[in-house]
Structure 1
Amino acid sequence: MLPFTSNSRLGRGLLLAAVVAGASAFALPALAGGCPADQKKPNAREAVDLKPVGVTDTVIASIDVSKAPFNIDGRNFRMRKLTIEPGGIVPWHSHADRPAIIYITEGEIVEYASNCAAPIVHKAGDVVAETPDVSHWWKNLGDKTVVLLSADLLKDTSDHNM
């Protein structure tokens, strides 16, 4: 038994600390670090002509949803694993017709988004929603490999942009 009661200041403080610690142990993945409010602006960053560097893009699975009863014609729902080596670059690309959700499983990577004047740092456990209003590129500035899982609705199967 604890030597204090829940009515005491110490008891309430320890109880609150225990609740916070317990809740954080079961927390879901965090929505990724976002663009600071004062850095959000349309066309904050111009397109850059970069080629992929140190990136392995592996399709894990895909579903042709136009052939299934989902009423999503002309789309392929796919899951990919992207591995980005230190110094690696995922080149500039748009999500105008290809929404995606990215889950960072390992490492830390920096995003340079068209709608943010500041670089955005994403860490393992972060989730990034890539919507039609963003074009961007990513770079691994660290010394460890970064691994991302990407789920998207691909419209153009000949689109080899990441």
Structure 2
Amino acid sequence: MFLRSIVVSTLVAAGLGLSAPAYAGECPADKVKTDAVKPVNHGPKGVTDKVLATIDLSKEKVAIAKHLMRVRRLEIQPGGVVPWHSHAERPALIYVVSGEIVEHASNCAVPIVHKAGEVARETHVTSHWWQNTGKAPVTLLSFDIAGDPNDHHM
């Protein structure tokens, strides 16, 4: 019985550890600042953005008119840039499939590094740009709520 309890406890603890989400790098608490990074005028560079699927939320039980839930795959080449954009009207979760990418966020005085297997949360307070400073391509999956189906902002 004692051995069984140890085995069950170990399996539960391991399962909890494996099921916990891996959030991406975050801004260190002492580096959080208002308007720490100003908007930049970099256009997109070395980025492909493909919509993989959408759901019209006006036709779902949540009935949010003129909004889509969508999944996009972004490929950012070495030296590539995802230009400055805001998530004031478009919350998103970004899963880093492969590679490592640097975020320059308006509310953080230092760059934030995001690595493969991590998830970045982008809320209404997020304005930023991303840059692939590495030697390998970066692949991201973006899960967002978009108000305009023709919105091509990254």
- Asked if these proteins are the same fold (TM beyond 0.5), I'd say yes
The partner residue of 1:99 within 91, 96, 103 is 91
* 1:29 shift after superposition: 4.0
Q: Deviations over 1:122-149 (max 9, x none)?
A: 0001101100001000000000110000
Query: Which residue does the alignment assign to 2:39?
Result: 47
The structure with the larger Rg is: 1
Aligned length: 145
TM-score with structure 2 length normalisation? 0.87
* 1:68 shift after superposition: 2.6
Q: Deviations over 1:12-43 (max 9, x none)?
A: xxx9xxx6xx8398354411110011110111
Could you tell me which runs of 5 or more consecutive residues in structure 1 were left unpaired when the two chains were aligned.
1-14
Query: Which residue does the alignment assign to 2:102?
Result: 110
Larger CA deviation: 89-98 vs 70-79: 70-79
- Percent identical among aligned pairs is 55
Are 1:128 and 2:120 an aligned pair? yes
The partner residue of 1:152 within 134, 140, 144 is 144
Query: Which residue does the alignment assign to 1:23?
Result: 14
Could you tell me which runs of 5 or more consecutive residues in structure 2 were left unpaired when the two chains were aligned.
1-5
Q: Deviations over 1:44-80 (max 9, x none)?
A: 1100001111101010000111123322111011000
Q: Deviations over 1:76-96 (max 9, x none)?
A: 110000000000000000000
CA RMSD of superposed structures (Å) = 2.0
Query: Which residue does the alignment assign to 1:38?
Result: 30
Tell me, yes or no, if the aligned pair for 1:57 and 1:80 is still in contact at 8 Å. yes
Moved over 4 A (4+): none
Q: 1:23 corresponds to which letter in structure 2?
A: A
